[in-house]
Amino acid sequence: MDRSRAALAWRAVFAAVGWAALWLQYGLMISGQPAAEVATRTLNFFSFFTILTNLLVAVALTLPVIGAGTRPGRWAASEGIRAGVTMYAVVVGLVYHFLLHATWNPQGWSYVANIALHYVMPTAILIDWLAFTPNGRLRWVDAGKWLAFPLIYGGWTLLHGALSGWYPYWFIDAGELGLGRTLLNFGGLLAFFGVIGLIVVAIDRTLGRRDRTAASA
């Protein structure tokens, strides 16, 4: 199997896994709820960074499969997009493992969805980026550009939380921690995003130099 066919197969399989995990998690969140509560839970569902990131991962894996050769397909397969999505997904996996894992003990189908969203899909997009995405064209400034998404998410989380009293994660719960501590935590998370982004760019540039050296040998 050549590299393009392997990439297509990989993306098709994990796109299906990603969408299935998202639907499963959403179904579990609204199951048995009255209609009025479904709307609130739907808004809360899309207020988790994990969910938004996994949506990006699913789209990034799906578009090159169903839209190969089209503008959306080429956009989703581009180096900058896949590297940025990979950075978000890696942060999701690391933050969950080190900050949330000990406080959450899902069972049954919740466990399945949890593993898929926090471990399987971040690993899948990381491998996709390393194995199938062109490399060597990222710039250091890209790591800064990728911070736009978590910045916007942080603003939305604070606004939504102030209006509803609900926060998706304990470490950004301004109601419990206070605004000052929450902003400090956001700052720390943003710095962590930046570090992971710089690591992604460094890996990309290293792989690019390796490939150019191999091509000229």
Tens-binned pLDDT, residue by residue, of the chain (217 aa)? 688 899 999 999 999 999 999 999 999 999 999 988 999 999 999 999 999 999 999 999 999 999 878 888 888 888 999 999 999 999 999 999 999 998 888 999 999 999 999 999 999 999 999 999 888 899 999 999 999 999 999 999 999 999 999 999 999 999 999 999 999 999 999 999 999 999 999 999 999 887 666 555 5
Tell me if 67 sits within 8 A of 28, measured CB to CB: no
Spatial distance between the Cα atoms of 99 and 83, rounded to a whole number of angstroms: 24
Phi-psi region of 32 (alpha: psi -120 to 50; beta: other; left: phi over 0): left
Q: Is 87 exposed, middle or buried (0-12, 13-18, 19+ CB in 10 A)?
A: buried
Q: Please give the structure tokens belonging to residue 167.
A: 């926060």
* Distance between start and end Cα atoms, the chain: 25
pTM for the model: 0.94
